[in-house]
Chain A
Amino acid sequence: MNEQELAYHRAFTVAVSEVMGTMTGFEMEEDEAFFTPDEESFDPKETQPCEISGAMVLLGKKNCMATVTMTRTTASMLVSYMTGIPYYELKNGDLFDGVAEMMNLMAGRAKALLSDSEYHFDISPPFTIVGENHYIVHKKQAKLIQKRFVSNELSFILKVFNV
C-alpha cells in the first residue's frame, strides 16, 4: 500500500466508524474477508449487486471518486435509524438523499482528518446512483480503498479510487 492509500484507509476507516456510529447507532466493522475482482476478471455473477450508491468527488492533489454502495434494505434501515422515521414510511427520495448524505458525512469527516496532511482535499456536492443490480467498476490501478463494512445483516461497500 503506498502512502496515499494508507492515509486514505486510516481516514475513511475512522470516518465510517464515527459517522455511522453517531448517526445510526450501528457499529460498522470492516469485513476482512471481502474481496472484489479487478477489472480484468470481473464477473457480475460473483459480485453482490446493489441498488443505491452515494457518490462524490474528492478534489485534491490527485482527484478521486468516493462511493458507498448498498442494497435498498440496508439503505432503508440506516436512513430509518438516522431520522427516526419507520423504514416502511420512507419514500424513494428519502433513501436516495439519505445515502448521499451518508457519503457526504463520511467524506467530510475524512476531509477533516486529512486537512493538515499533503493528501487534503475538498469535496463536491454528493449525488446518488440508483438502479437494480448495479456495480461500481473502476480501473485496477486507480484503486485506493475497496472495503465492505458490516453490522449484523447490514452491509455496504466503500470505494475510493483515482479519477
Chain B
Amino acid sequence: MKILSVDDSAIVRKIIQGAVEVLNFDLLEASDGLEGKKVLEEHHEEIGLILLDWNMPGMNGMELLQVIKGDEQFRHIPVMMVTTESEKENIVRAIKEGAEHYVVKPFTMEELIKKILECLGQGDQDE
C-alpha cells in the first residue's frame, strides 16, 4: 500500500517519508495540487491514504480535496490535512469538504506516526 504526500515543502515531505518508512509503507510525492492529481490518476488503486497540505501554489490543498471527494475513482481514499491552518473554521471547512483527519504543523514524528495509524484504522496496535 502506498501513501501520497502532497506538500510544496520538500523538507516536510522528507519528514513524512521518515514516518512512512518506520511504518514500512511506500511514499508517493507531489509538490502541488496539480501534480498530486496526476499521481492520483496514475496510482489511485495503490494509494491507501493521502496527506495533504493546504497552502500550495497553483492548485491548493482545498481545491485538490474537492477534486478527490468529487471523483468516484478517488473519493474512497481517506485524506488527512497536514497544515499550519489551525483556526476552527478552517478545520470545520476541511471536514465538511470531506477530509477524514486533520493534523496541525508543527508535530513530532511520534504524533505523525500515531495519526497515520489512526487514519488507517490501526491506531490501537501499538498501545
- Residues of chain A touching chain B, judged by Cβ–Cβ distance below 8 Å, are 18-19, 22-23, 79, 82-85, 93-94, 97-98, 100-101, 104-105, 107-109, 111-112, 115, 123, 125
Contacts and interface: CB of A to CB of B under 8 A. Distances in A.
Nearest to B56: A125
A123 B83 CA distance: 13
B14 A108 contact: no
Contacts of A19: 106
Contacts of B9: 97, 100-101, 104
A79 B15 CA distance: 10
A17 B15 CA distance: 20
A105 B105 contact: yes
Interface string B35-79: 000000000000000000001010000000000000000000000
Interface in B7-25: 8-12, 14-15, 18
A100 B57 CA distance: 15
B122 interface: no
Interface of B: 8-12, 14-15, 18, 55, 57, 84-87, 105-109
Contacts of A109: 84, 86, 106
A162 B57 CA distance: 25
A99 to B, nearest CB: 9
A97 B10 contact: yes
Q: State the majority secondary structure of interface residues on A.
A: helix
Contact of A125 (B8, B10, B85, B107): B8
Contacts of B11: 79, 82-83, 94, 97-98, 101
B82 to A, nearest CB: 12
Given A22-B106, A105-B106, A94 B18 contact: no
Contacts of A79: 11
Contacts of A93: 10
Given A82-B11, A97-B10, A125-B57, 20 more contacts: A18-B106, A83-B11, A83-B14, A83-B15, A84-B18, A85-B14, A93-B10, A94-B10, A94-B14, A97-B9, A100-B9, A101-B11, A101-B12, A104-B9, A104-B84, A105-B105, A107-B84, A108-B84, A109-B86, A123-B84
A70 B2 CA distance: 37
Contacts of B87: 112, 115
A105 B105 CA distance: 7
Contacts of B15: 82-84
B86 A112 contact: yes
